[in-house]
A and B are shown apart, each in its own frame.
Chain A
Amino acid sequence: MKILVCISHVPDTTSKINFTNGDSEFDTNGVQYVINPNDEFGLTRAIWFQEQQGATVTVVNVGGPETEPTLRKALAIGANEAIRVNANPTDGFFVAKQLAEVIKTGGYDLVIAGKESLDYNGGMVPGMIAGILGYNFLNSCTGVTIEGSAVTAVREIDGGKETVSTTLPLIIGGQKGLVEEKDLRIPNMRGIMTARTKALAVVEPVEASVNTKAVKFEKPAAKSAVKLISPDNLDELIDLLHNEAKVI
Chain B
Amino acid sequence: MSILIYAEYAEGKFKKVAFELASYAKKVAESLGTTVTAVTVNAGDVSELSKYGVDKVLKVNNDKLTGFTAKAYADVIKQAAQKENAKLVLLSSTTDSIYLSSLVAVALEAGFASNVVGLPVSTSPFQVKRNAFSNKAFNFTEISTDVKVLGLAKNSYGIFENTSSLTEENFNPTIGDNDFGVKVESVEKVSGKVSIADADIVVSAGRGMKGPENWGMIEELASVLGAATACSKPVSDLGWRPHGEHVGQTGKPVATNLYIAIGISGAIQHIAGINSSKVKVVINSDPEAPFFKVADYGIVGDAFEILPKLIEKFKAFKLQQS
Contacts and interface: CB of A to CB of B under 8 A. Distances in A.
Query: Do A and B interact with each other, yes or no?
Result: yes
B185 A165 contact: yes
Contacts of A182: 237
B190 A226 contact: no
Given A17-B137, A123-B114, A176 B98 contact: no
Given A118-B133, A131-B105, A182-B237, A162 B142 contact: no
B138 A121 contact: no
A92 B112 contact: yes
| Contact-residue bracket for chain B | 35 or more
A181 interface: yes
A215 B141 contact: yes
B190 A131 contact: no
Given A127-B99, A213-B142, A237-B281, A136 B197 contact: no
Contacts of A136: 71, 181-182
Given A158-B197, A176-B250, A234-B313, A227 B297 contact: yes
| Contact-residue bracket for chain A | 35 or more
A205 to B, nearest CB: 18
Contacts of A247: 200-201, 257-258, 278-279
What does DSSP make chain B's interface, helix, strand, loop or mixed? mixed
Interface stretch (B42-50, B164-172, B300-308): B300-308
A242 B249 CA distance: 29
A211 interface: yes
Contact of A231 (B94, B306, B317): B306
Interface of A: 11, 13-14, 17, 19, 26, 37-38, 91-93, 96, 118-128, 130-132, 134, 136-140, 142, 152, 156-167, 173, 176-177, 181-182, 209-220, 223, 226-231, 234-235, 237-238, 240-242, 245, 247-248
Given A118-B133, A223-B294, 17 more contacts: A121-B133, A126-B102, A136-B181, A157-B95, A158-B95, A160-B190, A160-B244, A161-B188, A162-B188, A164-B183, A173-B99, A213-B144, A226-B297, A228-B297, A228-B299, A245-B278, A248-B317
